[in-house]
Structure 1
Amino acid sequence: MSTPADLDTVFAALADPTRRRILSMLLEDDMAVTDVAAPFEMSLAAISKHLVILANAGLISQEKRGRVKWCKLEPDALRDASIWMQGFGQFEAINLDAFERFLERELGEGEG
């Protein structure tokens, strides 16, 4: 189980809409950093900063394959946050399909 500081880091990472969109993209499959950056109107350096925050929160991992850095979703941090929320009795355990639907709703409303 995560410590309160770990949960703070996860929730802080999830607070940003760009990072939530990145997580939604990674639900589909691992992606190269350049592919993650492609749909955003910001520099590769700015996306890299978002990726560092997600990695520090344990939400993604990154590995170098040849000259390309790849990103992969790591759902354990989300699972720990979900378990913490269950303590309030009003939240159900997170499942990745529901999380993806949430992100799609969230992103759909923000792009209009």
Structure 2
Amino acid sequence: MKDKNYTLAQEQIARFAKAMGHPARIAILEFLAKQECCFFGDIHEELPIAKATVSQHLKELKDAGLIQGEIEPPKVKYCINRENWNIAHELFAKFFGQCACKKRKLL
């Protein structure tokens, strides 16, 4: 069987999509997108889940490059990684824009 090579764009969009594959992560991204930066406690207060679970979701988003964290002892400050956010925006726009189907108006 021949090896299938994926393009860099395909690998990037898959990594971003996987990281965004949970509603809590989408909520975190929406919260962070509305501000410059915030601390872990601010994010935890927004979500109805345990601190350990919030930490796991932040790790996934950080590993994918969608957010970044900075330690300001004794706290950690998080914000959107603007460079990768813009890359993800372009990749998803191109990906969804290639469909030959009729475009529907969203509610």
- Confirm or deny a common fold (TM above 0.5): yes
- Give 1:80 shift: 2.0
- Give 1:54 shift: 0.4
- Give 1:79 shift: 2.2
Deviation sequence 1:48-87 (CA, Å, 0-9, x none) = 0000000011010011012101101113223223333426
Asked if structure 2 preserves the Cα contact closer than 8 Å seen for 1:14 and 1:20, the reply is yes
Query: Which amino acid counterpart does residue 67 of structure 1 have in structure 2?
Result: P
Richer in helix (by share): 1
How many matched pairs?
93
Matched, 1:49 2:62: no
After TM superposition, the structure 1 = structure 2 runs for residues 21-36 of structure 1, keeping only pairs within 5 Å, are 21-27=27-33, 28-36=35-43
- Larger-gyration structure (1/2): 2
Pick closer, same or farther for the CA change 1:80–1:89 going to 2, 3 Å: same
- Give 1:4 shift: 3.0
Aligned residue in 1 for 2:84: 77
Structure 1-normalised TM-score?
0.69
Unaligned runs of 5+ in 2: 1-7, 100-106
After TM superposition, the structure 1 = structure 2 runs for residues 1-112 of structure 1, keeping only pairs within 5 Å, are 2-27=8-33, 28-85=35-92, 86=94, 89-90=97-98
Structure 2-normalised TM-score?
0.72
Tell me the percent identity. Answer: 23
